Chain A
Amino acid sequence: MSESAVRLRDTLATAVRALQGARHLNVVELGAAGVTTFDVHRDASGTPCAATGLILPWRQLGTPLERRRIAQAAGGISDEAVVIVCSAPGEKLPELAASWLAEMRPGSVLAHVSGQSVAGLLREVLTDEPLLQPYGLLGLTPDPLGGMPRPAAVTVFPAGAAPGATAEVVAQASGEVVFAVLSMTEGQPRPVAIRVADLPPGPQVIRLVLGGPGSVEFSSSVPFVQDDRGWAELVVGAWPLIGTQGGRVHLVVGLETCGHQDLVARRIELVRQVILESAGGGTECLVSLVPYATHSYDWEVPERPVHPRCWLAAPDRALTALDRLEAEPVYPDGYRDAAQVEDMLAEVVTRLSEGSPGRTVLLTVGDRPPHPPGRHTLLACRNRYDWNRQVTSLERAGVVFGAITESDHPIWGVLGGSSRAHTDGNSVTQLCADLGLATTGLDRIPFPMIEVAP
């Protein structure tokens, strides 16, 4: 490869690596035949891909119209990155157009190369790119504490892995199972490769080879069949459960216990349903129950500070705490227009700061808005807590917000940020799936038991 080709390769590799999010890179080749453009961007899994755009013969260059078309091909006046490549050095029109374009886009990179296909170089760069996000293989992993195996993503290729990298896992299953490699993009993982194999009994060593971003090959003593579409959606749907921390989820329930007795009973019933669904969802679930009611602005009624009934408890213990709560008389309904939501949030913030294993979901079940921290038509919180601040600190801690409410108050848009259900209960199953507490699809995916090969 010529020196100029190596230089161009490096230039393109740097530009591709710098490509982030939804941004595009325009590579404009000014060759002997005309102008060719390549549009490079990353797909949802972070894999870079290129599309050939415009091919424009030289015939009409020089007329204002064609100048504009070339300019547009190079990204117009947008601020997307541009690499201008003159692949016919010494020739009048390509040189002219190259310098003209470079002048028009001061931030662009101008390169010269001869006797080398730009498309070929670009393809090489894209397949040789090291991984930006780690790739994980989904499967059931044994519980170190000897419990039920849990679905988890085992990292097979870490970020930075280069093409040709290999990984070995030991898989066990009987019959047809699904091997799914996901790019562990933050938030939403994307399937990279999904294969189905019919495994014989006993441990099987599976070898995975990274072909480049977006490409993984499987090999073993049994054949692997490509099956991207059949399982992709179910696998992605199962993801929220799988989380990054061993599939453990901490369900914190903020429960409003004031208002009409029937309504409180209904809320308790819904919380019971959510706990049961979460416990049976295939994930280890720990539950904290934080009931709250109204502040007392009446000197004859003592203030009841918010106090959790259970914290990080196993689901059955949480259900017992819920039963006990239900048996208690309803707290006298003090303030009608707000409740101690802000005190509940403050308590949760404090408790979580002491540590919370796994993903934390805060499910708030209530209707009344919080008390404001200061002067407002609603009376101020007796402890002057600022719910807005508590929410921000929970958001920073990565807490997922869900709510069951009948209220349209804007606070419920925040507390129900990831999912919101009504007290009619119809949408509780959906709520659990949205919050990654349980999923209906997971138990239908036949994952193998996997362990990283020693």
Chain B
Amino acid sequence: MTQQKISVWGAPGSGKTTFLAALNIAMIRSNLDWTVVAKNQDSADRLAAMTNDLTRERFFPKPTTDVNALDYVLLGPRRTRRKGWFFRRTTVTEQTRVELSLVDVPGSVFASTPFPGATDELPDPLDDLIASNGVLFLFDPIRESALGDSFDYFHGVLSRLAQRSIASGVSSAWLPHRLAVCITKFDDVRVLEVAERRGLITTDPDDPYRMPKVDSADAEELFAALCETSASGNSEMLLSGIRRFFRPEHVRFFATSTIGFHVDPVRNAYDPDDFQNVVPVEEGHRIRGPVRPINVLEPILWLADQLTADSPGRVKRSATDPRPSGGRPAL
């Protein structure tokens, strides 16, 4: 089993920490056979605290001020495999395991021109990105339409990443990473309405609430549409940057909400007139009701799947895909 290191990248406030906090909840709520287990006490404590904040206290995490490495093992479904030669051949059942090291840093470290002094004590995010095989890039469309600075937190890091890769002898024009691009805050009415206007909304027939969602195949279009509403107009360059530096088959888009939609507790139904799960309060934002993450587990499993498929000697079949390999994982 190889260790897969996944780094989380995104502007300040784009939802990195909340995403990691919701991962555990997403696992528990999913009908996929996965669990997340912390590898050390520190990660375990932090995971428990973050989950508690989201579900019991119903507060979002505070802005991150230092580097937090969270070491997890994702335990997947049991699968059987043949072992040995001829007469000694036996069948063994083993559990799919993916080791994940998630690195959460303050979004400010990705700034193209960091504030002097602000990130002095923090390590260069490049070290983590270089050492990772998977990158989770969080794009916050709300911040983008207000500030239009996602690109500032992207291009500087990206070009330095490319420089370093070339310097370290990587000859390909592409970066070696798998990239999961998550459009965060999909539960926000402004984001949902863009998706609706573009006709990108579907519902899952198995979902009792019939909540809106965007298929992964359409999420790139949503991303492009949201870039058009950017305050600076720079965000269109995000897409070209992604296309230039990452192999097309190494990139996947997701419309994500860490907290999900609100469900009317009395009628136990999703109400298209009243679905926002965030309540602005004096101290900031409070979570209104139960957290139902959307596309939080999926990008992680997709990355894990891609990375295990890469590593030699691993089960080649997709860990999450019920269909034969080569097909698009059902997310």
Contact = CB atoms under 8 A, between A and B. Distances in A.
14 contacts: A297-B279, A298-B58, A298-B279, A299-B289, A333-B281, A336-B282, A337-B280, A375-B189, A375-B272, A375-B274, A377-B189, A377-B190, A379-B274, A379-B279
Given A298-B58, A336-B281, A375-B273, 5 more contacts: A297-B279, A299-B289, A334-B279, A374-B273, A384-B273
Interface of A: 297-299, 333-337, 374-377, 379-380, 384
A335 B265 CA distance: 18
Contact of A336 (B190, B265, B280, B289): B280
Contacts of B281: 333-336
B143 interface: no
Contacts of A380: 273-274
A299 B189 CA distance: 22
B57 to A, nearest CB: 11
Contact of A298 (B272, B274, B275, B288): B288
Contacts of A334: 279, 281
B276 interface: yes
Nearest to B189: A377
B286 interface: yes
A299 B265 contact: yes
Contacts of B265: 299
A102 B58 CA distance: 81
B282 A333 contact: yes
Contacts of B190: 377
Interface string B65-93: 00000000000000000000000000000
- Name the residue among B189, B265, B282 with the largest chain A CB count within 10 angstroms: B282
A335 B280 contact: yes
Q: Is the interface of A mostly helix, strand, loop or mixed?
A: loop
A283 B204 CA distance: 65
A384 B289 CA distance: 19
Nearest to A380: B274
A30 B269 CA distance: 80
Interface residues of B, number: 16
Contacts of A376: 189
Nearest to A382: B274
A378 B3 CA distance: 44
A335 B279 contact: yes
Nearest to B283: A336
A374 B189 CA distance: 12
Contact of B288 (A297, A336, A337, A375): A297
A376 B286 CA distance: 18
Interface in B237-291: 265, 272-276, 279-282, 286, 288-289
A380 B286 CA distance: 16
B289 A379 contact: no
A379 B190 CA distance: 13
A380 B289 CA distance: 15
A334 B275 CA distance: 17
Nearest to B190: A377
A377 B191 CA distance: 11
A369 B38 CA distance: 46
A334 B282 CA distance: 8
Contacts of A379: 274, 276, 279
A380 B288 CA distance: 13
A45 B58 CA distance: 64
A377 B279 CA distance: 11
A70 B288 CA distance: 75
A336 B281 CA distance: 5
A299 B309 CA distance: 45
A337 B281 CA distance: 8
Contacts of A384: 273
A379 B274 CA distance: 7
Nearest to B279: A297
6 nearest interchain CB pairs?
A336-B280, A374-B273, A380-B274, A297-B279, A375-B273, A337-B280
Contacts of B280: 335-337
Interface in B179-212: 189-190
A376 B280 CA distance: 14
A187 to B, nearest CB: 39
Contacts of B274: 374-375, 379-380
Contacts of B289: 299
Nearest to B278: A379
A367 B306 CA distance: 53
A345 B160 CA distance: 59
A377 B280 CA distance: 11
Contacts of A374: 273-274
Contacts of A336: 279-282
Interface string B159-192: 0000000000000000000000000000001100
A294 to B, nearest CB: 9
B100 to A, nearest CB: 34
A380 B262 CA distance: 12
B89 to A, nearest CB: 58
Interface in B110-129: none
A293 to B, nearest CB: 13
A333 B272 CA distance: 26
A298 B287 CA distance: 9
A288 B4 CA distance: 68
B328 to A, nearest CB: 32
A375 B289 CA distance: 18
A333 B289 CA distance: 17
Contacts of B276: 379
- The residue among A336, A376, A379 with the most chain B CB atoms within 10 A of its own CB is A379
B195 to A, nearest CB: 14
Nearest to B280: A336
B245 to A, nearest CB: 35
Contacts of B189: 375-377
Contacts of A377: 189-190
A332 to B, nearest CB: 10
Nearest to A338: B280
Nearest to A258: B282
A140 B272 CA distance: 59
B113 to A, nearest CB: 31
Contacts of A335: 279-281
A299 B286 CA distance: 12
